[in-house]
Amino acid sequence: MTALVGDIGGTNARFALWNGQHVEAVRVLPTADFPSVEAAIRAYLQDIGQPVEALQSVCLACAGPVSGDEFVFTNNHWRLSRQAFCRELGLRDLLLINDFTAMALGMTRLRDGELIEICPGQSEIGRPRLVVGPGTGLGVATLLPLTDGGWRALPGEGGHVCLPVGSAREAALWGCLHAELGHVNAEAVLSGSGLLALYRTSCVLDGKQPRLASPMEVTAAALAGDAYAEAVLEQFCVWLGRIAGDNVLTTGAQGGVYIAGGIVPRFAEFFARSGFSRSLRDKGRMSRYFDNVPVWLVTAEYSGLEGAGVALQQQLESMSY
């Protein structure tokens, strides 16, 4: 019988088999290419030569708040009904979890060489750890250590908190964003589309004509030495530090901070020397709170799938008692 795990974001759906507590047969499918998650799963199974009838267990990690039967994906066109999903694929149950619940659990499966130290420190035993990841959106979750040595992931929607303002420049940028968007959340700048929005807003503020048309172009120009693109990417890193620092204070995450997601690893060296660390601890009289908080950049490719597998394994083990 087949256990399937999926990590579904706004742009891509990643699927794999969960076998022997490991993922295998990983495939990445663009969500735009399929009308539904069921259609994408059927295409995945056909590609790897597995019959739909062999499916026994499925865990899907999905971008957005998870509750009830109906799930509407935050950043793509798919909708999902647990009952309809199980009926179509012949399953008794579907384990549906938030994508950053899976990402957080994936941090417990990291291997050597999948972390880059950004801020040195020492994890405080028994304290939570924070996971933050800019991608198609901005994911935030918390890892809680358990007394038996395991971990519990707490889901949340921290990417939709209000974007903090820490300087006159940021206030001016926020004003431009507010005039366009109304409510300005963290994801408005700390995501793929957010990086492009930050670049365009900066151009408006500075009276410049935008010449870069995608987040990839902004990143590439910054890494190639374009001074204006560098300044925009620097502001992105600074704002990420502010959000991460706010969440550390809120959750007490002195166990450490993982920076995950698909964006930041593309400019790891730039990020390591950016103002991220300074803005992380720019909290007035609480700045010393961060003196020993380690920060790591995660370079693992499929942490969300690994975490979905961990969640599925936990469910299967609990059902066996």
* 156 is annotated as contributing to ligand binding: no
CA–CA gap between residue 17 and residue 22 (Å, rounded): 8
* 97 is annotated as contributing to ligand binding: no
* 10 is annotated as contributing to ligand binding: yes
**Phi–psi pair at 181, nearest 5 degrees:** -105, -25
What is the biggest distance separating any 2 CA atoms in the chain, rounded to whole angstroms?
Answer: 65
Q: In this structure, which amino acid lies at residue 284?
A: G
Q: If you ran DSSP here, which 8-state letter would residue 21 be given? A: T
* 11 is annotated as contributing to ligand binding: yes
* 252 is annotated as contributing to ligand binding: no
CA–CA gap between residue 314 and residue 289 (Å, rounded): 34
Please state whether beta strands 295-298 and 257-259 pair in parallel, antiparallel, or not at all (unpaired). parallel
CA–CA gap between residue 178 and residue 204 (Å, rounded): 13
Six-digit token pair at 63?
């971008």
CA–CA gap between residue 58 and residue 38 (Å, rounded): 12
Report which of 280, 304, 265, 309 is spatially closest to residue 114, judged by C-alpha positions.
265
**Binding-site positions:** 6-11
Summarize the annotated binding site for ATP as residue ranges.
Answer: 6-11
